[in-house]
A = this chain, B = another copy of it.
Amino acid sequence: MSGNSFGHLFKFTTFGESHGVAIGCIIDGSPPNIPLQVKDIQYWLDRRKPGNSKYTSQRKETDKVEILSGVFDGKTTGAPIALLIRNVDARSKDYDDIKDLYRPGHADYTYHIKYGNRDYRGSGRASARETACRVAAGAVARKILGENIEVKGALIQIGTKKIDHSHWNWAELNNNEFWCPDRNIVPIWSKYLEELRKAGTSVGAMVQIVASNVPPGLGSPVYDRLDADIAKGLMSINAVKSVEIGAGKEVAAKLGEENADEMRIVSGKPEFTSNNSGGILGGISSGQDIIARFSVKPTSSILKTLQTVTVKGEETKVSTKGRHDPCVGIRAVPVGEAMIACSLADHFLRAKALREV
């Protein structure tokens, strides 16, 4: 109820501030007897961690995860799985400059108003550092979903520069620092980000997540639709300002027959001839690929000088140094994957509960 949990049957609750002792989470709801080791989680954390590339924050966090409970003899027991990640490179002194002012685009102002206090050190709970816990929870969700269900994300736009979807090649993702599926745009993005960094600014981005081999029947109408829960999960990621499912925003401009995903019988089974629905009909998975997209705003912390106000109500200017991602959308890719994996694991367990007696 205080907003630090996600999910219902597969539920995780996170804690920890960017510049506190540690961050971590409790995953409550994992079925028992699922093989789980530190390396299963560490693999995904390593993909998200800062300092991976020159285009992300240079904060040196090892993000080493410790499993405190819930696993015995290499398997989940059904008890809550507590994960702990110690903070090792928090430099709170970096934040002395902004201690008494509100940074535009940040949650400084709203947290202060809401809570009557403010953890100015790296934004506290509002920091993107919290997303490491989402990725850790997502790693456990993937184990529950099994190897057949894949949840993969890609960066499809940085600023005004979009990939060419006809060039989409999943295999390219590991060949660049952007999770980019279109090799042609990689050098363009590299040059672009280099220019933006020199200019002391940041840029927005667009991420697409695809979940394959999701069984039909996941999702709980009417309010806990699979797409509604995915929308909530993605919109809860720092800096996200839009969420789309399937044809998304484009449906507004379409006619009925253009948007219809017709059905055929192929090899004796129903199949859809298109996927404008993004794999979800009436809030329930259809068996098609689940396709979601979200936009990520440009990092609010930029070197360029902006007008703002102080805690005491005076006008001032701010230029943020610190170690910030010029395009926070890059690191949002594994986070988006994790949120969708968690939503799927939750609805997977919910579907099991309501299966016929």
The yes or no answer to A17 lying at the interface (CB within 8 A) is yes
> Is the Cβ of A115 less than 8 Å from the Cβ of B33?
yes
CB within 8 A of A282: which of B75, B111, B219, B269?
B111
- B13, B114, B350: which contacts A13 (Cβ < 8 A)? B13
Q: Check if A95 is an interface residue, CB within 8 A of chain B.
A: no
A334 at the interface (CB under 8 A from B): no
Known: A9-B2, A203-B256, A223-B6. A241 touches B236 (CB 8 A): no
Q: A77-B117, A313-B265 are in contact. Are A15 and B82 (CB under 8 A)?
A: yes
Q: What range describes how many residues of A lie at the interface?
A: 35 or more
Could you tell me the distance in whole angstroms from the C-beta of A38 to the nearest C-beta in chain B? Answer: 12
The 14 sampled A-B contact pairs (Cβ below 8 Å) are: A1-B29, A13-B80, A21-B68, A114-B219, A157-B252, A204-B253, A223-B233, A250-B295, A251-B298, A254-B298, A260-B306, A264-B315, A265-B309, A352-B352
| B110–A222 CB distance below 8 A | no
Number of copies: 4
Residues of B within 8 A of A245 (CB): 235, 241-242
Contact residue among B2, B219, B248, B306 (Cβ-Cβ distance under 8 Å from A257):
B306
The residue in chain B whose Cβ has the minimal distance to the Cβ of A11 is B1
- Given the complex of chains A and B, what is the CA–CA distance between A227 and B241 in angstroms? 8
Given contacts A117-B33, A245-B242, A309-B270, are A281 and B235 in contact (CB under 8 A)? Answer: no
Find chain B residues with CB under 8 A from A78 CB: 2, 114-115, 117, 354
User: In the assembled complex, how far is the CB of residue A171 from the closest CB belonging to chain B, in whole angstroms?
Assistant: 24
User: Is the C-beta of A79 less than 8 angstroms from some C-beta in chain B?
Assistant: yes
Asked if A181 CB lies within 8 Å of chain B CBs, one says no
Neighbour of A5 across the interface among B28, B202, B242, B350, CB < 8 A: B28
Residue of B nearest to A308 (CB): B263
Q: Which 6 A-B pairs have the closest CB atoms?
A: A107-B282, A3-B220, A3-B224, A353-B353, A110-B284, A232-B232
Asked if B125 and A256 make an inter-chain contact with CB atoms under 8 angstroms apart, the answer reads: no
Contact with B along A75-91 (1 / 0, CB 8 A): 10111111010000000
B251 contacts A356, CB within 8 Å? Answer: no
In the complex, whether A106 has a CB less than 8 A from a CB of chain B is yes
